[in-house]
Structure 1
Amino acid sequence: MNLSRMLGQRAEAGRPVRVGLIGGGKFGSMYLTQARLTTGIHVLGIADLNPDRLRETLKRCGWPEEQSDTGSFAAALQSGRTFITDNAMDLIEADGLDVLIDATGDPAAGIRHCQAAIRNGRHIVMVNVEADALAGPLLARQAEKAGLVYSLAWGDQPALIAEHVDWARTCGFKVVCAGKGTRYLPSYHQLTPDTVWDTLRTYLALEHPEQINLKMFNSFLDGTKSGIEMTAVCNATGLVPQDDGLSFPPASRFELSSVCKPKENGGTLSRTGTTEVTSSLYRDGKDVPHHLAMGTYVVIEAETDYARQCFSEYHMLEDDTGQFAALYRPTHMIGMELGLSVASAALRGEPTGSAIGFHSDVVATTKKAMKAGEMLDGEGGFTVWGKQCPATASLAAGYLPLGLSHNVKLLRDVAQGQMLTWDDVAIDSTDEAYLFRRDMEQAFG
C-alpha cells in the first residue's frame, strides 16, 4: 500500500530505481508509456534487436525525443535519460542498474538474460513467461541464493492469479481452483498462423493480418498460452494441474463457483487445489454472457456453516450449495501495471509471484499427424501446441517441454494429438537452454 510513497522518497533522495528493459514489443511498450510518468523510476536503458523500430515505439508511447539516445549508459546514468541499444548484455552489465525486465518471449534468451542478471546483481522481472514455464523454478532458486528477487510480471495474468491465491490463503480459505478466462473452442488446437486470421477477424477490429504477429496471436488461441500461464501459476503457488490438463469449460463470471469445483461436488474439475481456464464461448460457438475472457479468478471453499452464512450475507458469488464462492478481477492491464513488480522487487525485496517448486509443465502436443524427418516449429506454429501437465507425470513419461520444441526434427512418425517425448525428437544436447532445463529436472524431480 505504500510503494508510491517509497518511490517518492527515492526520487527526493536522488536515487531513483534504475530499470533496464529487454524487448520493446507490446508488453514492453505498455510499460514504457507509464514508466516515463512514474516518480522514482529511471529507465536507464532499453535493448531491442531493432533500435529504429523501438524509437518509433517510444514516440507512440509519448516519450520526447530528447529523453533517449544520450550516447552511453554512463551518460544516461548521469543525465536521467535512456540509452537505446541492440545489445542486451551491455544493458545487463551497465553500472547503476537495479532491476532487469525480460520481455522477449524467447525462453532460451530469457534463461540466458536471467543468469547474466544474477551474475551482475540485478533483480529480475520475468515478463517472459515462456522462460518461466520452461525453467522458472531453478531460475528463482538461483536468484534467491544470490540475494536477489526473481518475479513474475504484475499486470500479466499469472501474477494476478498468484495474488488471488495468496489473498485466499492469508484469509484462511481453502483454494479450490484459480485461473483466468480466454476464448476457446476445441478446434482451436489445430489453428496455425495461416488459419488463425479467419478466427481473429470475427472478434477483433483488425483490417489486415500484417497488423499483428499471427504466430503470437495463434499461441493465445490454440491453447498454448493458457497452458504456459497456468504452469507459471502452479509453480508459483503449489497448485497442481488437473490430470488431463485444462478443459476450458464455458462459464460466466457468475458461474465460476459452480463450474470450477470438483466433479464430486457437481463441477468439472478432476481435483481440488488446481487451475482451470474458462471459455468465453459455448461449444456451439455462441458467446457466453458476462464471460471472463480478459480476467482472472479464484474459487474458495467455506469449511464451516458460519462461513457459508457469511458468503450469502455478503453476496459472494457462491454456488447453489453455498459451499463454494468466487472472487474475480474482470480485466488486466498488461505492461501498464508492471511498475508494481519493479517497485516491489527494488524497494521491498519481494516478488509479485515467483516459482517455489516444479508442479506443472507444458508439453509439446501435435496439431497433426507427422512423419519422421519433419521439423517442429514451437509455440504458436503449425506443428505443436502446449498442453498443461502435472510435473510428476511429465517427468515419468519423459515429455518434451514446449519451450524446447522449436526447430527440432522428429525421429519417428507421430499421430495427431500426441504428447511428444524426448525420444521422439533429435535434440541438441549441447544447447544451453536444454542443459539448464535438465538441471532443473534434476534439482526438483
Structure 2
Amino acid sequence: MSLYAGLQKRAAEGRPLRVGLIGAGKFGAMYLAQVPKTPGVHLAAIADLSPANAAVNLERVGWAPERFAAQSLDHALRSGTTHVGDDWQALVRHPAIDIVVECTGNPIAAVEHCLEAFRQRKNVVNVTVEADAFCGPLLARKAAEAGVVYSLAFGDQPALICDLVDWARAAGFGVVAAGRGHKWLPHFSQSTPETVWGHYGLTPEQARTGGLNAKMFNSFLDGSKPSIESTAVCNATGLTAPPDGLTYPPASIDDIPSICRPRGEGGVLHQKGQVEVVSSLERDGRPIGYDIRFGVF
C-alpha cells in the first residue's frame, strides 16, 4: 500500500494521524501550506515562541482564521481544527498526539524537543537538520530505545539523498558517492547576513515581506547549510565525509559519474562511499548547462 493510499484509508475510517508542529516560521510555513491538502492527517496543535507570528504565517499561506481558533488542544481534537500556543511541552505530552514535527531551526532546542518526544513515546520528524548533524545517531538510538520512529523530513534534500542511497543498496549497488547540487563559488564563503540578499536578487524589504531569515539564507549561500546537510546524510547512511571538507566540484549531471569517483580513478573524491556537493557554476562564474543545482544524486 502506498503512503497516499494509507492516508486515504485513515481519512475514510475517521482516524487521522494527529500531528503537533513545533516552530511555525519559514520552513514550518511550508508544511502549513501543504497539510490542509493531505488526507488522513490532522494538524492538531502548533507551538511557537510567538503565537502571533504563527498566526500571521498561517494566514499568509492560506489558512482561514477559524481553522486555527481552537482555544485548547482538546478543543482542536474535538472540532478538527488547530490550536496555536507557546507551550511545546503540553503539545508533546498530550496523549492524542501521534507525531511531533520539529521545525524550530534551533538545534539545541530541537534536541530537547526530540528527547522529550521520545520519552512520551512520540514519533518525530526532525526538520531541524542542524540538530541531526550535531547528534543524529544518538537521537536515532534514543528513538529506537523508545520504540518510536525518528526521521528527517522527506522532501528535504538530505532525506531524498538517503532514500536514493537506500534504494541503490537494496538493489545491490555499491554507492560510490551521494550528494546534492548547489550554486557555489569560493567567494560566497565571505558573504554575511548583511550582504546576502544581493546574491539572491532581492532587496532587504522584499526579503522581509517574504518572511525570509538572513542568517538562514546566508548559510545556504556560504556553504554552511550544504555541509550540515551532508553531515546528516553521513549520520543516516554511514557514508563518509571528505577529510578536508566539501570541494564543490563544478559538474553537469552528465559529468557527475566521472567527477564523483576517487582521485585514483580520475575523479575528485578521497575514497568511495563519500558525500559531496556539486556546483552549478564553473569557477569563473559561468553557469553549467544541465546542472543539478536543485537536485540530488
| TM-score, normalised via structure 1 length | 0.64
Counterpart of 1:140, as a letter, is A
1:43-84 deviations in Å (ceiling 9; x for gaps):
010111221222122122222222112111111111111000
Q: Which has the higher helix share?
A: 2
Instruction: Tell me the distance in 2 between the aligned counterparts of 1:208 and 1:63.
Output: 22
Q: Which has the higher contact order (CA 8 A, sep 6+)?
A: 1
Deviation at 1:26, TM superposition (A): 2.3
Instruction: Tell me how far apart the structure 2 counterparts of residues 207 and 295 of structure 1 sit (CA, whole Å).
Output: 29
Q: How far off its partner does 1:162 sit?
A: 0.3
Partner Cα separation in structure 2 for residue 283 and residue 209 of structure 1: 28
Number of equivalenced pairs: 295
Superposed, which structure 2 residues align to 1:14-413 within 5 Å? 14-201=14-201, 208-211=206-209, 212-297=212-297
Give the secondary-structure state (helix, strand or coil) at the position aligned to 2:175: strand
1:205: how far off? 8.5
Looking at structure 2, the residues matched to 207 and 65 of structure 1 have their Cα atoms a distance apart, in angstroms, of 26
Q: Which whole-Å deviations, capped at 9, do the CAs of 1:91-149 have from their partners, x for residues lacking one?
A: 11123000000011111000110011011111000000010011111111011011000
* AA in 2 matched with 1:6: G
- Give the CA deviation at 1:207: 6.2
Question: Greater strand percent: which structure?
Answer: 1
In percent, how many aligned pairs have the same letter? Answer: 50
Q: Secondary structure at the match of 1:181?
A: strand
Rounded Cα–Cα distance in structure 2 between residues aligned with 1:93 and 1:77: 15
**What runs of 5+ residues in structure 2 fail to find an aligned partner?**
none
SS state at 1:175 partner: coil
Task: Give the conservation status (yes or no) of the 8 Å contact 1:227–1:246.
Answer: yes
SS at match of 2:91: helix
* Alignment partner, residue 2 of structure 2: 2
**Partner Cα distance (2:200, 2:129) in 1:** 23
How far apart are the structure 1 equivalents of 2:205 and 2:254? 34
In 2, Cα distance between equivalents of 1:217 and 1:265: 36
Distance between the aligned counterparts of 2:48 and 2:124, measured in 1? 17
Gaps of 5+ in 1: 298-445
Counterpart contact for 1:73–1:95, Cα < 8 Å: no
Amino acid at match of 2:208: E
Distance 1:291 1:155 in 2: 19
Distance in 1 separating the partners of 2:136 and 2:270? 26
> What's the TM-score, normalizing by structure 2?
0.95
